[in-house]
Structures are given as C-alpha cells and as structure tokens.
C-alpha cells in the first residue's frame, strides 16, 4: 500500500483507490450480496423488516420448484417450463448464431481484401448501434399479420391465409437471433484474423480438403473466439428483456418477464430477487462450462 502511494503520489493514489473501491465494492459486490440475502427472506412490508418475522427462509425457491401452497400440481410446471424454455431457446439461438456467423467472420477475416473487410465491418456495426427495442420493432413490422413476409408468402401461393408469426413465436426467435448476432461475429472475427494464412495454404498443399482444414486448423485456432461469442450471446439472450417485451406472444413468457412480473406488478421483491439469483446461477454455470469446455481463461472470454 505504501509503495502504491509512493508510486502514484498521494492525490492520484487516493483518486485511484476511491474510484476502484466505489466501483468494486459499492456497485458490484454489495448489491449482489444484498440481493442474495433478500432472496432468502420473506416478503414483508417495510415496517416489519428487521422484526421477529424477518428470518431466513427458502420459501421463494420452494415456490419456484413446487408452486404456491394452494395449487394442486406437484411441481410448479408454469415457472419451471418458462425457465427451461428460456434456457433451451437461448442455447438454440447461440448455436444458430454460431453457424450463421462463422462463414461471414471467416470471409471478412481471411478472404476479403482489406478495404472490403473494413467496409463490411462498418456495415456490421451500424445496425448494432440502433436500439434493441427498435430493432425488435422492425422485426415485428416484418412479421405482422399484413406484414411483408406474409404478403410475399401469399403472393407466391405458399400459404392461403396469413400466418400469425407472433403467436407461433417465430418472430420472437428471429428477433433474438437478430438482436445479438454482432456479439458472435466480432469475437470470431478477431480470433480468425490472427490466423496465419500460410497455415491454410500449407494444409491445402498437403492435400487437405476444405472441411478438414476448417475442422483441424481454423476452428482450433478460433476456439477462444467461439467460446467468447457463445458466452456473450447466451448470456444476453437468456437475460434479454427488450426483445421478448416487443415480440413475445401474449401466452409466451421469457424468464426475465417472470422476474419483472414478480418485481413490478406483484410487488414481491424478495421473490423477484430469488428468481434473479436462479438466472444468475445459470449464467455463471454456463460461463464456467464454456471455460472448461474450450479450456480458456475468463480473460479470453471477455475481451
């Protein structure tokens, strides 16, 4: 500590310390810990908090698993269903995005001329700076009952009546894939850019097929990028709120919407916190899984 002060001078060192402690402790650690604590407490009106009723309880987690005490079902099928729907959809969206983006990233990083590559990157960034809500809104216009897609399909004679894409959740899935596609491309692109083109040529000269070259050389090289892209897309999709708000059909819920309901409409903050903790645990598990699977460090995941 002394050497830290000596190195930076008293004024600057104090500024550094205050800024970092404010951030790490007051903005990151304490809020999360308090939320964890709240999730184990009953939902009480403010006056009763700290009183004799304010004891640790598992009631909110039990509610997630078994439902309310008055319901007849053995498990809370609704909430668990929403939870698994969200997770499975997020995984699918991640896989689809990876498959979609790999050729594009490879093209921009290795095949395109530098000028084209730069223009393409710029073109990729532009839609990303437009609000997520507005992008979802664009998808909604596209998939509306009298929207462009329905009209094209009707015109081609593929369908006889308009399809309700929103009720079928097709609009939601498309919107989610659309929303975070950039966060898959960029890590992949960054990873692939560092690949030495000579390796690809050597592989070709030695008679390797294109598929084999990709499987044995390009993908192993890009593994940090793949891990990073998959993690980001999964996290953002599972934690998305804007896109489901705009695009989900009235009878489909996203897990974050469930949290929102407990929190804002039912005013049950501790249950909202408990559900948030569940989401957080899943997210952290996914990150650890990706790190283990691809053998990368957390620093390589977030770049």
Partner 1 sequence: MRPNLAIQAFLGLYIFIFFLYLFGPLVIMSVTAFNSAEFPAITPWECFSFRWFNEGKIAYDGQRLAGLVTDRPLHEGIVTSLIIAAGVVTLSVPIGMAAAIVLTQVNSRLRTLFYSMSIMPVLFPGVIIGISTVVLWDRIATLGGDGFISELGRNGIFLTILGQTCFISTYCFLIFVARLQRFDTTQEEAALDLGASQSQVFMKILVPYLMPAIGSSAVIAFLASFENYNTTVFSILSEQTLTTVIASKVRLGISPAISALALVIICLTLIGAFFYEISRRSNQRKKDRENKVKMFSEISGNRLVEEQPKFFKIPKSIFVFLLLLILAVLTWQQLIKNNMYGAECVEKAEASKKSNFADQLKLLQQNAESVEATDEGGAETGGSKEYNDIFGDPNLFKNFGGFDTDKKEEGESGATRSNEYNDIFSDPNLFKNFGGFDNKE
Return the residues of window 91-150 that contact partner 1 according to CB under 8 A: 100, 103-104, 107, 110-111, 120, 122-127, 129-142, 144-148
From the CB of 203, what's the least distance to partner 1, in Å?
10
Give CA–CA dist 303/42, Å, rounded.
Answer: 39
Which positions from 188 to 217 touch partner 1 by CB under 8 A, shown as an x/- string? ---------x--xx--x-----x-------
From the CB of 254, what's the least distance to partner 1, in Å?
10
Residue 42 touching partner 1 (CB under 8 A): no
From the CB of 3, what's the least distance to partner 1, in Å?
9
Select 78 or 152, whichever has its Cβ closest to partner 1.
152
The residues near 7 (Cβ < 8 Å, ≥ 6 apart) are 13
Give CA–CA dist 245/243, Å, rounded.
Answer: 5
From the CB of 44, what's the least distance to partner 1, in Å?
12
Residue from 82, 235, 253, 296 binding partner 1 (CB under 8 A): 235
From the CB of 71, what's the least distance to partner 1, in Å?
25
Question: Is 136 exposed, middle or buried, given 0-12, 13-18 or 19+ CB atoms closer than 10 A?
Answer: buried
Q: Which of residues 53-82 bind partner 1 (CB under 8 A)?
A: none
Give CA–CA dist 283/235, Å, rounded.
Answer: 6
Q: Are 173 and 91 in contact (CB under 8 A)?
A: no
From the CB of 227, what's the least distance to partner 1, in Å?
13
DSSP 46-109: GGGTTSTT-----HHHHHHHH--TT--SSS-HHHHHHHHHHHHHHHHHHHHHHHHHHHHHHIII
Which positions from 151 to 190 touch partner 1 by CB under 8 A, shown as an x/- string? x--------------------------x--x---------
Q: Which of residues 5-34 bind partner 1 (CB under 8 A)?
A: 7-9, 11-12, 15-16, 19-20, 22-24, 27-32, 34
Q: Are 54 and 44 in contact (CB under 8 A)?
A: yes
Please, what's the b/e burial string for 234-269 (b: 16 or more CB within 10 A of its CB; e: otherwise)?
Answer: bbbbbbbebbbebbbbeebbbbbbbbbebbeeeebb
From the CB of 62, what's the least distance to partner 1, in Å?
20
Give CA–CA dist 184/245, Å, rounded.
Answer: 23
Give CA–CA dist 22/68, Å, rounded.
Answer: 40
Residue from 239, 253, 271, 296 binding partner 1 (CB under 8 A): 239
Select 76 or 182, whichever has its Cβ closest to partner 1.
182
Give CA–CA dist 117/113, Å, rounded.
Answer: 6
Select 89 or 231, whichever has its Cβ closest to partner 1.
231
Select 15 or 75, whichever has its Cβ closest to partner 1.
15
Q: Which of residues 264-293 bind partner 1 (CB under 8 A)?
A: 264, 269, 272-273, 276, 279-280, 283-284, 287
């Amino acid at each position: 500590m002394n050497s830290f002060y000596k190195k930076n001078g008293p004024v600057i060192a104090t500024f550094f310390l205050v800024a970092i402690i404010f951030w790490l402790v007051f903005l990151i650690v304490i809020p999360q810990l308090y939320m964890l604590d709240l999730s184990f407490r009953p939902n009480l009106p403010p006056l009763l908090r700290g009183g004799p009723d304010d004891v640790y309880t598992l009631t909110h987690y039990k509610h997630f698993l078994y439902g309310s005490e008055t319901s007849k079902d053995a498990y809370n099928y609704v909430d668990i269903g929403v939870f698994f729907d969200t997770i499975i959809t997020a995984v699918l969206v991640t896989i689809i995005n990876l498959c979609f983006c790999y050729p594009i990233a490879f093209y921009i990083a290795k095949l395109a001329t530098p000028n084209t590559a730069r223009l393409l990157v710029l073109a990729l960034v532009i839609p990303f700076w437009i609000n997520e809500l507005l992008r979802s809104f664009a998808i909604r216009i596209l998939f509306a009952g009298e929207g462009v897609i329905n009209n094209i399909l009707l015109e081609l004679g593929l369908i006889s009546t308009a399809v309700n894409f929103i009720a079928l959740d097709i609009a939601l899935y498309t919107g989610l894939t659309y929303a975070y596609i950039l966060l898959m491309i960029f890590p992949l692109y960054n990873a692939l850019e560092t690949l030495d083109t000579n390796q690809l040529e050597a592989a070709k000269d030695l008679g390797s097929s294109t598929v084999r070259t990709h499987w044995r050389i390009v993908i192993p090289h890009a593994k940090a990028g793949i891990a990073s892209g998959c993690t980001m897309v999964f996290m953002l999709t599972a934690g998305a709120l804007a896109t489901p708000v705009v695009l989900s059909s009235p009878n489909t819920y996203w897990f974050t919407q469930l949290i929102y309901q407990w929190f804002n409409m039912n005013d049950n903050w501790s249950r909202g916190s408990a559900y948030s903790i569940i989401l957080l645990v899943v997210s952290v598990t996914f990150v650890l899984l990706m790190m283990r699977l691809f053998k990368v460090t957390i620093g390589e995941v977030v770049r």
